[in-house]
Chains A and B, each alone.
Chain A
Amino acid sequence: MEVDQLQRNFLEYTNLLFREGFLDGQFSQLQLLQDESNPDFVFEVVSLFFEDSERLLNDLTIALDQQNVDFKKIDAHVHQLKGSSSSIGAQRVKNTCIAFRDVCLEQNAEGCLRCLQQVKQEYLLVKTKLEALLRVRVPHLFSLEQQIVAAGGAIPMLNDFC
């Protein structure tokens, strides 16, 4: 494939994710922090996010399954998830967490269960999209990026097109 075309695909896909609100400006910040001495930075941070989120979603499921729901604990977990999703730019997950915390404040167990479902859904969506973008199974190169580099091109940053 022509390098230009590959670069355009990569950019288009990323732009799509931005337009649809899955990712926000913080993700661009992560991309900016990636360079020759930190070639896998985005992949590493996103991988941490996946691990962190799955652990927290699991903890939340268990916490909401209890006879006496500990809303403080739930709030703490959601706060953490909100933080990590915010740090990588997973906007929709973050926003769902914000809503979740409000429901938690009301100590509404039913509401919390619905929120948990929502967060899980949003998480799975962004995970799929990030995996497509990053090709998780290939540690050092991302899927589209891999092809670009193989074709002799450079990975364009969003600001290249501003």
Chain B
Amino acid sequence: MGMAAADSQFHVLAVDDSLIDRKLVERLLKNSSFQAVSTVDSGSKALEFLGWHEDDRTKSNETSVSPKNHQEVEVNLVITDYCMPGMTGYDLLKKMKESSSLRNIPVVIMSSENVPSRITRCLEEGAEEFFLKPMKLSDVNKLRPHMMKTKCNDDNIIEEPEKQEKQESNKEDTTTQETDDVQLQTPQSLQEQLNGNNNNNNNKRKPIDDGLPPDRTRPRYNGLTVMSN
């Protein structure tokens, strides 16, 4: 599709103690063109990966001495199982929301059990979504808006109306990506939104991008073209 790999780089961290479920989530996410999927098998390893520190609550990120602070290993979404030995998905969520460096990373919880109080608790603690396992392709589509939100929060602008305005010029792109999306059942408007993102280069958004590391350009979704790995 003519975009640089770095432009569409989107990094998801999947946390699950089950090897089968890690494999499944990884495959699901890769299938929908998310470039980078990392997996860990516990909440504590997830925090380590994210460069979390005990005193993240009170101190700023400059004081962190870990070689893996979040600037180097940028994660755009964390998807975690609820039931894990040791630290549960809820515990992980809580720790992330309490951390000044990690609280803006959207967190999605998965569980094999449909327990309303559990779902409510997670959503109240700040989880973006709660999926019942096993995850399906259709669930993955629900993740996209949350990923867009990460960058939105950094810039305090509402992106979506802008993207919709740019839809018209990108309608022809839709057809080339349809074939890959037959199984993904993406709503048309979301598809076009994502296409709009493809052509929003940084020139139009210079002031907004100042908050981002230079190598991280804005466009992250080049439609739903499957990027075969």
Q: Which of B18, B27, B133, B137 contacts A38 (CB 8 A)?
A: B27
B134-A87 in contact (CB<8A): yes
B229-A44 in contact (CB<8A): no
Chain B interface secondary structure, helix, strand, loop or mixed?
A: loop
B206 to chain A, nearest CB (A): 36
B112-A48 in contact (CB<8A): no
Q: How far is the CA of A49 from the CA of B134 in the complex (A)?
A: 14
Q: A26-B134, A29-B136, A79-B112 are in contact. List 6 more A-B contacts (CB 8 A).
A: A29-B137, A33-B31, A76-B85, A83-B20, A84-B18, A87-B18
The 9 closest A-B pairs by CB, nearest first: A37-B228, A87-B134, A84-B20, A48-B20, A33-B27, A87-B20, A83-B112, A26-B134, A32-B183
B139 to chain A, nearest CB (A): 10
B134-A48 in contact (CB<8A): no
Question: Which residues does B use to contact A, with CB under 8 Å?
Answer: 18-21, 23-24, 27-28, 31, 83, 85, 112, 133-134, 136-137, 183, 226, 228-229
Chain B residues, Cβ within 8 Å of A48 = 19-20, 23
| 8 Å CB interface, A30-56 against B | 30, 32-33, 35-38, 41, 44-45, 48-49, 52
A45-B18 in contact (CB<8A): no
Chain B residues, Cβ within 8 Å of A52 = 18-20
Q: Is A88 an interface residue (CB 8 A)?
A: yes
Q: How far is the CA of A52 from the CA of B21 in the complex (A)?
A: 12
* Smallest CB gap from A83: residue in B: B112
A79-B134 in contact (CB<8A): no
Chain B residues, Cβ within 8 Å of A146 = none
B19-A86 in contact (CB<8A): no
B133-A87 in contact (CB<8A): yes
Q: What are 10 A-B contacts with C-beta separation under 8 Å?
A: A33-B28, A36-B228, A37-B228, A37-B229, A38-B27, A82-B112, A83-B18, A84-B18, A84-B20, A88-B20
Chain A residues, Cβ within 8 Å of B27 = 33, 38, 41
A36 to chain B, nearest CB (A): 7
**Binary per-residue interface labels of chain A (44-80) against chain B in the complex, 1 for a CB within 8 Å, 0 otherwise:** 1100110010000000000000000000000010011
* Smallest CB gap from A49: residue in B: B20
* Residue from the set A33, A36, A37 with the largest chain B CB neighbour count within 10 Å: A33
Chain B residues, Cβ within 8 Å of A36 = 228
Chain A residues, Cβ within 8 Å of B226 = 35
Chain B residues, Cβ within 8 Å of A41 = 27
Chain A residues, Cβ within 8 Å of B19 = 48, 52
A87 to chain B, nearest CB (A): 4
B133-A86 in contact (CB<8A): yes
A65 to chain B, nearest CB (A): 22
Q: Which of A33, A35, A87 contacts B21 (CB 8 A)?
A: A87
